[in-house]
Amino acid sequence: MVTSHWTAAPAQASLRRRGAVLERAILDAALEQLSTVGWKGLTMEGVAAGAQTGKAAVYRRWPSKEDLVADALHAALPRIEEVPDLGDVRADLLALCRRTRDAMFSRPGLALRAVIHECDPVQAERLHAVIIKGLVEPTVQLLREVVTRGIERGEVRSDAANGYVFDAIPAMMMYRSKVCASEWSDRDLEEVIDQLMLPLLRPTRG
């Protein structure tokens, strides 16, 4: 019997990745760490291991854990880019609130809120910008569009397009989510629209 002296080379643990592919793997690994061990348990070494790369590759791109986590959450948060025009301000508001709720309670949204609870004030300030730019500001912009359409249709009073009105839904949703641990059922969203927003928006009669 002829014995072959050839043996297969061991498979490499991972292909050599660069650029956006490697960055995506690192960000995914960071999000996975947040989901399993939280902010306090997350380490740059653990993220590097999860991404199957070296620790130096992580530090070259993100000098601190705060920077890495902020980018991971920002990249993963669902984008709220448009709200359908359903021809009625109540229906438009409800559709927007549902999309905002779904983003807040998505995996990255839950991770973000959990991280903020674990961080000290300095760390939380860096991560707080993610939820403002990734969730609150887009929601406010879309609320502006919904209210403006309502004004044009005559459903909404002309002076309702102001910052206090636009802030009302994001502020209420964030407060109830963080302080009251509300999960915002569809019924909750309908009540905040009917009891808070519509009285603010409707033209006064008489």
CATH number for 178? 1.10.357
Q: For residue 79, is it within any domain?
A: no
Average pLDDT value for residue range 49-60: 94
Reported as type and span, the H/E element at residue 138 is helix 137-153
Residue 39: which CATH number? 1.10.10.60
Considering the domain boundaries, does residue 134 fall inside one? yes
Percent of the chain topping pLDDT 70:
88
Res 17 pLDDT > 70: no
pLDDT above 80 for 117: no
- 98 shares a domain with 41: no
Please indicate, yes or no, if residue 72 is contained in any of the structural domains: no
Q: What's the pLDDT at 1?
A: 46
Q: Closest Cα to residue 93, out of 146, 139, 162?
A: 146
Whether residue 14 is predicted with pLDDT greater than 60 in this model: the reply is no
Residues 53 and 97 in one domain: no
Is residue 73, in this structure, part of any structural domain at all? no
| 46 and 137 belong to one structural domain | no
Q: What is the pLDDT confidence band of residue 3, given thresholds at 50, 70 and 90?
A: very low
**pLDDT for res 182:** 66
Q: What value does the mean pLDDT take over residues 12-25?
A: 73
Instruction: Read off the pLDDT of each residue in 58-64 and give the average, rounded to a whole number.
Output: 95
Mean pLDDT taken over the chain:
83
Same domain, 49 and 103: no
d(CA 151, CA 203): 10
154 belongs to a structural domain: yes
The answer to whether residue 142 sits within a structural domain is yes
6, pLDDT greater than 50: no
**One domain for residues 115 and 159:** yes
Structural domain of 36: 19-63
Check whether residue 116 and residue 46 sit in a common domain: no
Which string of DSSP letters, residue by residue, matches 5-54? Answer: ---PPPPPSS----HHHHHHHHHHHHHHHHHHHHHHH--HHHHHHHHTS-
Say how many domains are in the chain: 2
Same domain, 104 and 196: yes
Same domain, 133 and 188: yes
pTM value is: 0.73
